[in-house]
Structure 1
Amino acid sequence: MFAVIATLLIGTPGRAQLLLPGALQSSPPVGNTGQNPAGAPVRARPVVLKPPLESTITGLELARDGVAGTIAFGSAPGKGIEITHLSLAGEAISHPGEQCRVDVVSDTPIQMTFVGRPNGVSRYEVNIEACPFSFDVLDGAVMVSRVPPACDFAAADCRATLAGFWGPPGNSFGPDQIKRLERERGLAESSMRSDFRALLADAGTDKATIKKIASEQAGFSSERDVTCRNYAGEDVHGFCALRVTQARALALQTALEANSNPHPGKARTMAKKAAAKQGQPPNLTADPQPSPLAPGPQ
């Protein structure tokens, strides 16, 4: 736990420093004949997504909604990744509507703890005393979760919003990249629909499970719209919607794998627990950690 001291920067109204001690990509479509060697039908899986690697966010400066604040990640030898810079944007507590900014400052990078892949992507917890939060690693972006979504820094008179989608600046996407994102979007949507249908098939006649799966999927589109509606330039590049869709597809895919293999091998389970205990992600080339289906972070 960090002991946190907030101080206002001299001569810069509405800006503060927080001092800390020690100052999807997709794989090629999988072929499917519709039957296995024993003659039993198998699920059609036209697209299989892989969890984004931590390397897709290292060296980047990401902003909430592509415009507010800054979070930058670096690689830490033997420790996975770390936060090298964190700056939060918000509004003054005493004067709502007036913009402010809080910089989290430390002599060493901010450490975090790897807690597994509950929804198919790597999740980390950051234990800053004044504003603890968690985030999921997406491809070139992160989804930050925190309840409540904002943190109050009384000494800086600033209420900074942290929860939400953090990605590249909204004006940083070129024409070629936008075309590539459009192609990826088709793959993500196809994978999500296929896995949704497969989950319903797995549920059989279990009405409660069918209702739960259908309800979560029905609410996904509106949740995605809420998450991405304020992302800068979203109507042009669709980057936020794409990454959120890929995360949803990975969550469904992970639920399917949990149904197929509800009791993973003892050695593999112990290896993952050991990696999580040490705060390091397991081998990123391995399959995602099986888990029950759960909604993505809000």
Structure 2
Amino acid sequence: MALPGAVEPTPEGTVTSPGRPKKKLSSGEMGSARGPVVMPKAPSEDTILGKTLKLDGNGSSIEVARNGSDLQAIKLTLVGDRLTRSGEACRVDVTGMPLKLTPRDSGAGLRRYQIASLAACPFTFDVLDGAILVTNEGKACEIKEADCRADPSGLWGMPENEFDPKKAEEMLGARASVEKTVRSDFRALYDRNSKDKPVRSFVVKEQAGFSSWREEVCRSYARESDFGYCALRLTEARVIALGAQLAGGVKLPEGYAETVAAEETAAKAKKK
């Protein structure tokens, strides 16, 4: 589950200028004109410390703490289905805690960590605002000694019992505001790369796929229709990914430009 907008991150606070800028963006105008862009600041690990984060708001859970300069998982519970009895729930309280979280390079401007020492279920996550987005290459973990299969992929964030009905309107309003920023930043990114067909094609394809990807990730999150919490967090992450591309340029997947060129050649040949 790769967050759309994957590029190599630029250091926080630095300004880069791929291409020839025509106008410098003023404060509050990100995406409204071409020009140098300050890399958006990624959410800090401090936003997840001391909290119980739950997958989809009511599933597997994790607690993260600092130990000096290191980050650790001090509690981890995986919830899934029994290997021998399909459809029957199982729960595994992971032993051998704490587990060290190893920093990894993020492709979307976010802080990324991996729990590599958990042999039965190693996974990677990006730090969002008070939540984490876990990826596991689409594979469920099989913990045979516990007769359990668990898939950690998805958003681990606010537990279902912590949602405050009084804040539902505020949260939905925040999402609408962030959606507006996404549209603005996408338009700026498109305009900047309008003459580079492979990059333009990739940017459009990526943006088009974001909504369906977000829907897939968030459809199981507790009380999502009332609060839109999961969608808000992923949309905030999308803003950071677009900001990274505006600041540092778009990094195409290996072979993408060649594929676009081949498709264009084939299309021209078909018209003859």
Shorter-chain TM-score above 0.5: yes
Equivalent residue, structure 2, for 1:292: 251
Structure 1 runs not aligned, ≥5 long? 1-38, 260-290
Is the CA contact (8 Å cut-off) linking 1:254 and 1:293 kept in structure 2?
A: no
Cα 1:230/1:184, change in 2 over 3 Å: same
Rounded Cα–Cα distance in structure 1 between residues aligned with 2:245 and 2:166: 34
The 3-state SS of whatever aligns with 1:227 is helix
The structure-2 alpha-carbon separation of the partners of 1:292 and 1:208, relative to structure 1 and needing over 3 Å to count, comes to closer
Counterpart pick for 1:124 among 113, 120, 123: 113
Residue 42 of structure 2 is aligned to residue 51 of structure 1 = yes
Conserved 8 A contact 2:31-2:186 = no
Task: Decide whether aligned partners of structure 1 residues 200 and 101 sit closer, same or farther in structure 2, where only a CA change above 3 A counts.
Answer: same
1:170 aligns with 2:160: yes
Query: What are the Cα deviations for residues 35-79 of structure 1, in whole angstroms up to 9, with x where unaligned?
Result: xxxx94345417985311111110111111111121111122222
| Equivalence map 1:58-207=2 (5 Å) | 58-79=49-70, 81-106=71-96, 108-127=97-116, 128-207=118-197
Higher relative contact order (CA 8 A, sep 6+): 2
User: SS in structure 2 opposite 1:225?
Assistant: helix
Tell me, yes or no, if structure 1 residue 41 matches structure 2 residue 41: no
Q: Over aligned residues, Cα RMSD in angstroms? A: 2.1
CA–CA distance in structure 2, aligned partners of residues 245 and 155 of structure 1: 38
Q: How many residues align?
A: 223
Calculate the TM-score normalised by the size of structure 2.
Answer: 0.76
1:146 deviation in Å?
A: 0.3
Higher helix share: 2
What is the DSSP-based 3-state SS (H/G/I as helix, E as strand, rest coil) of the residue aligned with 1:213?
helix
Indicate the SS of the match to 1:171. helix
TM-score by length of 1: 0.70
Gap regions ≥5 residues in structure 2: 1-20, 33-37, 254-272
Alpha-carbon shift at residue 176 of structure 1 (Å): 4.0
1:263 is matched with which residue?
none
In the TM superposition, residue 184 of structure 1 has moved relative to its aligned partner by 2.3
Counterparts of 1:293 and 1:102 in 2: how far apart (Å)?
A: 40
d(CA) in 2 for partners of 1:122, 1:293: 21
Change (3 A) 1:148 1:215: closer
- % identity of equivalent residues: 39
Correspondence 1:222 to 2:191 = no
